[in-house]
Homo-oligomer: A and B are copies of this chain.
Amino acid sequence: MKSAVETGYHLDSVDKEIIYMLMDNAKTSLSHISKNVGISTTAVHQRIKKLEQAGVIENSISFLNPRKIGYKVVSYIGVFLDQPSHYHDAVKALKEVNEVVEAHYTTGNYTIFLKVLCRDNDHLMEILNKLQKLKGVTRTETFISLEQSINRQLKV
């Protein structure tokens, strides 16, 4: 038998139904969930508390739609560093750049891999210039998203 550390928290079908409803809308009421899954609101509440304590369900956040406030360009940027040892300094500098919403230390071609949101292509150029001036950055490679056809959370 595998341990929970390896396989993760075990979700039964009721847990999954609850989680999917909350993943779709964090403000779904207990009574609504209760009617859907067929157990009392108290039971739903107990399960959610357990899932939160286990860390399976994390915080809930509201989304700001970047497009609606004028941010229309989504891009991914691969960053080459001259030395991987510059990674931590680079991340520190990247945190100061609001347009950078994700940063990963990756295997493969790049040292750091970014997701960047910009208003338009001129704005993206500005950000690219800023990135290329960071210490240790030798080169960048940019992929602009022309259309995001899938955007969702994991289904298990």
Contact = CB atoms under 8 A, between A and B. Distances in A.
Interface string A113-154: 110010000000000000000000000011111111111111
A143 B110 contact: yes
A102 B151 contact: yes
Given A25-B59, A63-B23, A154 B104 contact: no
Nearest to A90: B149
Given A101-B150, A146-B106, A57 B61 contact: no
A76 interface: yes
A64 B69 contact: no
A95 interface: yes
Contact of A143 (B65, B71, B109): B109
Interface string A72-115: 00101010000000000001001100111111111111100110
B154 A117 contact: yes
A150 B100 CA distance: 8
10 contacts: A6-B70, A8-B70, A8-B71, A11-B69, A23-B64, A27-B60, A76-B106, A98-B155, A101-B151, A106-B146
Given A8-B69, A105-B147, A108-B143, 14 more contacts: A22-B61, A24-B61, A25-B60, A27-B27, A27-B60, A54-B68, A57-B65, A64-B153, A66-B154, A76-B106, A91-B149, A105-B145, A106-B143, A108-B141
